[in-house]
Chain A
């Protein structure tokens, strides 16, 4: 089995066998990060370019470490230091990078569709590291890996996703991934942050957190994308925290062994109380560790798929 594709753009393009292969490979890669010498020679001589037009610490560092632990050369380009501020177009920037013989371009951009556009225009493998409100496939995959690891399976789990679904590319990737395994997905948010018609994806929508949490296996909290909310979607952060914040009492409505997940960065006291974020149910830091393994798997599998 191999990954027969050039790029990873969204989880909706991947079929279940491909996701299984990625998760299985990531599971094997976890061991590399626990070694004294955290490096294997698999991608020696390959060049990975992190092209980030939006701020990111976790995802960029994670891709960078994933590349370095596979012995690839990794270069980071961020929007502030790049020539786009000098007026260069996106495609010209990308073509110039490719002219330096890159093998992978990891792209994050505030506009949906940028990775698709670059994938069509470039020879390099393109991995979407988050585009607008569209998708964040590597985060979706690491969430699947974290859930599968804790629960043994993804099938039939009740997963509650709380927060900004409207701007939530993480939510979109999680939903696409989980639906392929037949999870029972419940979305909770103020009505203004739920996209119209999302029920058609086969998910249940709630406006009250308490009723959704009953018997949940997994609770995924989303960050409020305050930078994308240019109009008021809810009156105050305090009200949001009160109605949609996860605290100990609310968590007790879910199953006893329920997992609490958050893609980070956390707004403590808003999406989740510190008590829950640092509690025994929380796998938030495990998500971060798994992120490296998943990204190593993506780089490794994509570099093997070039047979066109």
Chain B
């Protein structure tokens, strides 16, 4: 067990705030598509869409993106992650895509996600929303919407547990083993 960084109430508040921020910046939800990165971002994208729906009256479309095939470490990995579904049900051309992920770390996942999105269509804009930004970027990437900025050591692990996968909503920081 690690230290609780966000509990279920805080996650609720943070996601509601992100929903408001997305609406403020984009002047409404008309052109928005929320795309969750498999697997952590998928449930969060749906939740944010739901909150936007409650505020605006119309729920923006959501999609899912699996970035496995676009990873830069695919050739070096000994074990592949299981391939999940990519499903973006609407045309992204001339829409604003908000990528949603649970934890922003090195930025490599986001690089892969952007390459994948651009192969799928030509969004007018790509924005990024994350629940936790833990630092240690290896690429020039930043999030537009951040739930919580969390300074961490590189070897520590941030775990996001959600009701949708049968857990109580919470974000944990595991101190882990120092090398």
Query: A and B bound?
Result: yes
Residues of A whose CB lies within 8 Å of any CB of B are 1-2, 21, 24-25, 27-29, 31-32, 35-37, 39-42, 45, 70, 297, 300-301, 304, 306-307
A45 proximity list for chain B (CB < 8 A): 75
Interface string of B113-135 (1 = CB under 8 A from A): 00110011100000000000000
Beta-carbon contact of A42 and B85 below 8 Å: no
Contact surface of B with A, Cβ cutoff 8 Å: 66, 68-70, 74-75, 77-80, 82-87, 115-116, 119-121
The answer to whether A39 and B119 touch across the interface, beta carbons within 8 angstroms, is yes
A39-B119, A40-B119, A45-B75 known; A24+B69 contact, CB < 8 A: no
28 contacts between A and B (CB under 8 A): A1-B82, A2-B80, A21-B82, A24-B83, A25-B83, A28-B66, A28-B84, A29-B83, A31-B87, A32-B86, A35-B119, A36-B120, A37-B119, A37-B120, A39-B119, A40-B70, A40-B116, A41-B69, A41-B115, A45-B75, A300-B69, A300-B80, A304-B74, A304-B77, A304-B78, A304-B79, A304-B80, A307-B78
Complex Cα spacing A239 to B70, Å: 55
Task: Give the CA-CA distance A31 to B119 in the complex, in Å.
Answer: 13
Say whether, besides A2-B79, A2-B80, A304-B77, A31 and B85 are in contact (CB < 8 Å): yes
| A301-B69 Cα distance, complex, nearest whole Å | 11
Shortest Cβ-Cβ A-B pairs, 9 listed: A304-B80, A42-B69, A40-B69, A28-B83, A307-B78, A25-B83, A2-B79, A37-B119, A31-B86
Residues of B within 8 A of A304 (CB): 74, 77-80
* CB–CB A300/B83 < 8 A: yes
Closest chain A CB from B35 CB (angstroms): 14
Closest to B83 in A: A28
Query: Of A27, A35, A306, which contacts B120 at CB under 8 A?
Result: A35
Q: How far is the CB of B78 from chain A (nearest CB, A)?
A: 4
